[in-house]
Structure 1
């Protein structure tokens, strides 16, 4: 499941060079008073195990769902965005994030984890989730982040898991996967 909407807006537009500070502040944000949808609450109630990224927006989302994580691990954290100085441009943080994510997907990782390393981490994360599901014979709820959740899902499918349901990439969206 992707976390709830972060309680952070920052500047409407900013130069590329300010994105590193914007990202750092975003990473410290919780979710404020964002409320999970009923479907998210239902998924959370069915989970036998709950795991999470250590980022505040993920932990606050679990709290909003009334869940305590058994495991909090960096392996589930979002893939970092590279920031490139592009002088003269002012864009919204969302526009910069899209531009920098596309650059990252094209192999430009400048001082952050590369796509190759993020895929390796997703494989490790998927393995941990599979082990927990097998050990406790039941659903595992991961509270994570958009890009890393997608990478983990691809790894689960590569290991024989199928998508039972997928509900987009919005805040509180979730995918459900099962073996076979």
Structure 2
């Protein structure tokens, strides 16, 4: 049975943990996008799923590519269409908060239409549809593993379901988690 496996990359090594202003988030996001992954044990189920795929796809971000290597695989396809939904930020100089708090705040604002410095939610939805179509096309030759990212994997999963694929009711979102989708006859 052909399947599409959406797997989230390994835990990234986060850039700077001090408090920053929103205006500094652009630089923090760039550092995060260049981040590597932490050395950690990979769940056996993730390794098994990776070895079962005939095609491995990945985003072009380092944490996804390094995760593919950690799984003992080589990517067959790398494409920016699978990259994480970009995170917006603002030019305010105050207040200063931990980057993780700003990331959560701006991700929530993004869902409500704020997109300064990033693609809009609608543009990202359109990209997730292209990503899902690419995965479905790759799945014509056998099972596909996508090593991607949290928000983007959720959006791709929604598109796969709309295209007749079935998978878990709730998409998993922790590092190395995987959700398996199969085409309904």
Under TM normalisation by the shorter chain, which class is it?
over 0.9
Q: What does residue 90 of structure 1 align with?
A: 96
Q: What does residue 40 of structure 2 align with?
A: 34
Matched, 1:18 2:30: no
Call closer, same or farther: CA 1:111–1:167 in 2, change over 3 Å: closer
Hey, what's the Cα distance between the residues in 2 that align with 1:154 and 1:104?
A: 18
Q: CA deviation at 1:166?
A: 5.8
Structure 1 residues without counterparts, runs of 5 or longer: none
Q: CA deviation at 1:111?
A: 3.1
Per-residue CA deviation, residues 90-115 of structure 1 (Å, 9 max, x unaligned), is 21111111110111110111132111
Q: 1:158-173 maps to which residues of 2 (within 5 A)? A: 158-164=162-168, 168-173=172-177
Q: Which has the higher contact order (CA 8 A, sep 6+)?
A: 2
Contact 1:52 1:69 in 2 (8 A): yes
Give the number of equivalent residue pairs: 178
Call closer, same or farther: CA 1:126–1:167 in 2, change over 3 Å: closer
Hey, what's the Cα distance between the residues in 2 that align with 1:12 and 1:84?
A: 18
Q: CA deviation at 1:42?
A: 0.8
Q: CA deviation at 1:67?
A: 0.6
Q: Normalization by structure 2: what TM-score?
A: 0.91
Q: What does residue 159 of structure 2 align with?
A: 155
Q: What does residue 84 of structure 2 align with?
A: 78
Call closer, same or farther: CA 1:164–1:73 in 2, change over 3 Å: same
Matched, 1:124 2:130: yes
Q: What does residue 115 of structure 2 align with?
A: 109
Q: CA deviation at 1:160?
A: 0.9
Contact 2:87 2:117 in 1 (8 A): no
Structure 2 residues without counterparts, runs of 5 or longer: 1-6
Matched, 1:53 2:59: yes
Q: CA deviation at 1:130?
A: 0.5
Q: CA deviation at 1:23?
A: 0.8
Contact 1:167 1:173 in 2 (8 A): no
Q: CA deviation at 1:16?
A: 1.1
- Stretches (4+) displaced over 4 A: 164-167
Hey, what's the Cα distance between the residues in 2 that align with 1:127 and 1:149?
A: 13
Q: CA deviation at 1:165?
A: 7.7
